[in-house]
Every structure is written in structure tokens, then in C-alpha cells.
């Protein structure tokens, strides 16, 4: 069965610093992987997705993620953090057989001025 | 136009009451979901419908009953509300057979007193 582990429930960085949110997955088949962002009191918004094309995926708001099969990872990065990036971030893997997404537990990103 | 909408956005009610939450999507998707997000932000899938047919029914108390009158609507009825039902409930939709990119509604914050 597919599963996702997000390392670090809370990440804090300074404005302008590199953002790195870690995600490792477990999947018995080539996975589809996603990063979603949830701003306070809002629903989840898709940041980016990996669907077996390019391993480096670019998303909205300057975020990108790299699929590394050997490490079973799909870490999310942004070169320079902005105050507006403060939110909850979720990594997810697609369970094709069950027709559902399996989410990680989320990482809260805090940006310090 | 809102892609996935939910009503109401906030719902405050007393224990023992029965309440409903409605969801509508105008994306032309054929699959819809209900998720529960607890106070720790953990997302748990509850139900999924594909073309009005129930395809996922996770371990959810029988007090929760989903209904899909057509593929654009998925409602959630909750009987005999309990304190532990307090959470944010999200509706989502996707097109089956796609890479499982789901689109989320804004959420309904249910508070049971």
C-alpha cells in the first residue's frame, strides 16, 4: 500500500532563506506525487505534481520538487522564502487501485521576518 | 466561478442534532470525496463517489451518510452529532483515470457544543 512520510511537522525559516520541506513515499508501483498548500482557513490548493514526466517539477509561487526514485523522495524547495509562504504543506501519493490520494501528516511552514 | 463549493462554511450545533453539508463542483469531474481534517491538520478520507456510486467507504461511524444526487453534487448528512465530530470537512473532486489531481473546496468548519 502507498504511504507518505513528511519529515518535520514544523519548519521555520527566515524571509529570503531557502525553503526545504521533506517528503518520502512508499509505493509498489511508479507513483504519482503531489504537493498541496493550505493557507489559514482555506482549502487545499495544488502546488505541483509529478506524473512520470520530468523528474524536476516546477509549480506555482516559485516552488519546485524533485522526484528521486533511488531515495523514494519528493522534497519541495523554494530558493527564497516570502512571508506569504507561511502555510501548511501536504505531500500526497496516488493510490491508483483504490482511486484515492494518500496524504502525509503535513508540515507547517513559518517565515520569520 | 468557484470550482468546488461547500455550504455552509461554518456550522455550530449542539450534541445530538442532525446536520448536513453540501458540496457542488462545476469542473465536469466524475469522482467526489469527503475528507475530515482534525485539529492537528491530519486529513482523513471518509467517502468517495464515482458517477453517483459509492466506491470508497472508510471506517466511518454509521451516523455519517453521504448522498450523491448527481455527479456534480455530494452531500454529507450527520446524525446524532458528537463532540468528536468537531473538525473541518473538505469536499474534493477529480476526473477518474487522470493522475488523481484533486480539487478541494474551501471547507466547512463544524463545531459541536
Contacts of B68 (CB under 8 A, 6+ apart): B32, B49, B52, B54, B74, B75
The verdict on B100 touching A (C-beta cutoff 8 Å) is: yes
Beta bridge partners of A99: none
Dihedrals φ, ψ of A33, to 5°?
-125, 150
Residue of A nearest to B6 (CA): A43
Question: Cell numbers of A34, please?
Answer: 503531489
From chain B residues 4-33, the ones with a CB under 8 A of any chain A CB are 4, 31, 33
The verdict on A38 touching B (C-beta cutoff 8 Å) is: yes
Question: Cell numbers of A87, please?
Answer: 502555510
The verdict on B108 touching A (C-beta cutoff 8 Å) is: no
Interval A47-90: pLDDT, tens: 999 987 788 999 999 999 999 999 999 999 999 999 999 999 99
User: What is the pLDDT averaged over residues A31-43?
Assistant: 92
pLDDT given at position A100: 84
Contacts of A44 in chain B (CB under 8 A): 43, 90, 92, 104
DSSP per residue over B16-79, as a string? T--EEEEEEE-S--SEEEEEEE-TT--EEEEEEEETTEEEEE-S--TTEEEEEEETTEEEEEE-
User: What is the pLDDT averaged over residues A14-18?
Assistant: 97
Lowest mean pLDDT of A28-32, B23-27, B34-38, name the range: A28-32
Amino acid at each position: 500500500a502507498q504511504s507518505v512520510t513528511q519529515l518535520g511537522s514544523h519548519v521555520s525559516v527566515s524571509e529570503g532563506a531557502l525553503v526545504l520541506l521533506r517528503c518520502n513515499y512508499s509505493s509498489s508501483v511508479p507513483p504519482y506525487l503531489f504537493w498541496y498548500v493550505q493557507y489559514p482557513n482555506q482549502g487545499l490548493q495544488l502546488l505541483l505534481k509529478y506524473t512520470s514526466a520530468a523528474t524536476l517539477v516546477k509549480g506555482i509561487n516559485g516552488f519546485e520538487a524533485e522526484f528521486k526514485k533511488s531515495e523514494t523522495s519528493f522534497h519541495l524547495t523554494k530558493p527564497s522564502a516570502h512571508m506569504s509562504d507561511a502555510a501548511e504543506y501536504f505531500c500526497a501519493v496516488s493510490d491508483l487501485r483504490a482511486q484515492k490520494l494518500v496524504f502525509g501528516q503535513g508540515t507547517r511552514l513559518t517565515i520569520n521576518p | 466561478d468557484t470550482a468546488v463549493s461547500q455550504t455552509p462554511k461554518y456550522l455550530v450545533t449542539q450534541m445530538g442534532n442532525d446536520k448536513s453539508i453540501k458540496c457542488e463542483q462545476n469542473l465536469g469531474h466524475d469522482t467526489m470525496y469527503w475528507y475530515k481534517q482534525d485539529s492537528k491538520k491530519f486529513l482523513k478520507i471518509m467517502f468517495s463517489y464515482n458517477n453517483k456510486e459509492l466506491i470508497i467507504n472508510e471506517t466511518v461511524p454509521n451516523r455519517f451518510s453521504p448522498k450523491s444526487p448527481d455527479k456534480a453534487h455530494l452531500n454529507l448528512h450527520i446524525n446524532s452529532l458528537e463532540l468528536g465530530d468537531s473538525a473541518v470537512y473538505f469536499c474534493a473532486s477529480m476526473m477518474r483515470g487522470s493522475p488523481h489531481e484533486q480539487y478541494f473546496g474551501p471547507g466547512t468548519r463544524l463545531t459541536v457544543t
